Structure 1
Amino acid sequence: MGPARLLRMYESPRTAHTHLLTPAELAEIRALLDHAFDGDFAEEDWEHTLGGVHALVRDPDGLLVGHGSVVMRRARHRGRSYRVGYVEGVAVHSGHRRRGIGGGLMEALEQIVERAYVFGALSASPEGAGLYMSRGWRLWPGRLEALGPDGAVPFPDEEDTTYLWGTVPGSGEPGALAFDWRDGDVF
Structure 2
Amino acid sequence: MTAPQVAHTSQLPASTLAASRALLDDAFDGEFADADWAHTLGGMHVLVWEGDALIGHAAVVQRGMLLGERPVRCGYVEGVGVRADRRGRGHGGALMAACERIVERAYDLGALSTSEEGAGLYLARGWRIWQGPTSVLAPGGIAATPEEDGGVFYWEAGLPLDPTEPLTCDWRGGDVW
Q: 1:99 to 1:170 in 2, by over 3 A?
A: closer
State how far apart, in whole Å, the 2-side matches of 1:123 and 1:175 are: 17
1:66 is aligned with what amino acid? Answer: G
Q: Deviations over 1:139-184 (max 9, x none)?
A: 0000000000000110111012100000663416x54111101110
Match of 2:59 among 45, 64, 69: 69
1:101 aligns with 2:88: no
Which residue of 2 is the match for residue 87 of structure 1? 77
The unaligned stretches of length 5 or more in structure 1 are 1-7
Query: May I ask how many residue pairs the two structures share in their alignment?
Result: 176
Structural mapping, 1:92-171, within 5 Å: 92-166=82-156, 169-171=160-162
Q: Residues of 2 paired with 1:16 and 1:170: CA distance? A: 29
Maintained 8 Å contact 1:139/1:163: yes
1:49 matched to 2:40: yes
Is 1:74–1:84's contact at 8 Å kept on the other side of the alignment?
Answer: yes
- Indicate the percent of aligned positions where both proteins have the same amino acid: 51
Give the match's secondary structure for 2:126.
coil
Q: Tell me the distance in 1 between the aligned counterparts of 2:83 and 2:156.
A: 28
In structure 2, what is the Cα distance between the partners aligned to 1:109 and 1:170? Answer: 20
**Normalising to structure 1: TM-score of the pair?**
0.91
Cα deviation 1:26-56 (Å, max 9, x = unaligned) = 0000000001001110000000000000000
Structure of greater Rg:
1
1:41-73 CA distances to partner (integer Å, 9 max, x unpaired)?
Answer: 0000000000000000011x3210000000000
Q: Distance in 2 between the 1:47 and 1:17 partners?
A: 14
TM-score (norm 2): 0.96
Q: Give ranges in structure 2 of 5+ residues lacking alignment.
A: none
Residue in structure 2 matching 1:33, options 24, 32, 50: 24
Q: Distance in 2 between matches of 1:29 and 1:152?
A: 33
Letter aligned with residue 16 of structure 1: A
Confirm or deny: 8 A CA contact 1:78 1:170 kept in the other structure: no
Q: In the alignment, residue 42 of structure 2 is paired with which amino acid? A: G
In the aligned structure 1, how far is the partner of 2:80 from the partner of 2:132? Answer: 24
| Cα offsets for 1:106-145 (capped at 9, x unmatched) | 0000000000000100001111100000000000000000
Q: What secondary structure sits across from 1:51 in the alignment?
A: coil
CA distance in 1, matches of 2:65, 2:71: 6
